[in-house]
Amino acid sequence: MSCHFSDDGWDLQYDFDRILHSYDLIYEELTGNPVELKVEEAPVHMYDYDEVISKPRFFTPPLQYQRNAFVRDIIYAYMEEAGEKIRKLAVLGCGSLSLERFLIALLGGMGIERVMSVDIDENEIAKGLKLMK
């Protein structure tokens, strides 16, 4: 199966059934063995965001925006092809919840009821939660 994104002109191959099956397996595993974790508030004062913002950009738009937009486009392409909305989204390696913050205004329209975010670095998740407020 092929998905075409008009903004970049590239044809991409995806096996949406296989991807969906993988997410179902992950969901079953996590609902059967839930992980409860209390995350401390991130020490945001340790990070100088002004310095990060003032650095010159190598990519326009920024690379993280391009990644997030790519995922958004894949989700919309799947919904269009499948003719149904997505109810659950798993973000593996979520970091500081960049994708979740990017998609937050679109989740309702996509039909997404539950987002599961997983990352090895608790501080990054805590930073993302703070930025989401």
Reported as a single tens digit per residue, the pLDDT across 63-107 is 889 999 999 999 999 999 999 998 999 999 999 999 999 999 999
Tens digits of residue pLDDT in 32-59: 876 666 666 656 555 555 555 666 767 7
Q: Are 94 and 128 in contact (CB under 8 A)?
A: yes
Query: What global pTM score does this model have?
Result: 0.58
Burial class (CB in 10 A: 0-12, 13-18, 19+), 128: buried
Q: Among 69, 67, 83, 71, which Cα is nearest to 115's?
A: 71
Measured distance CA(79)–CA(74) in Å, rounded: 9
Q: Are 1 and 16 in contact (CB under 8 A)?
A: yes
**CB count, 10 Å around CB of 23?**
16
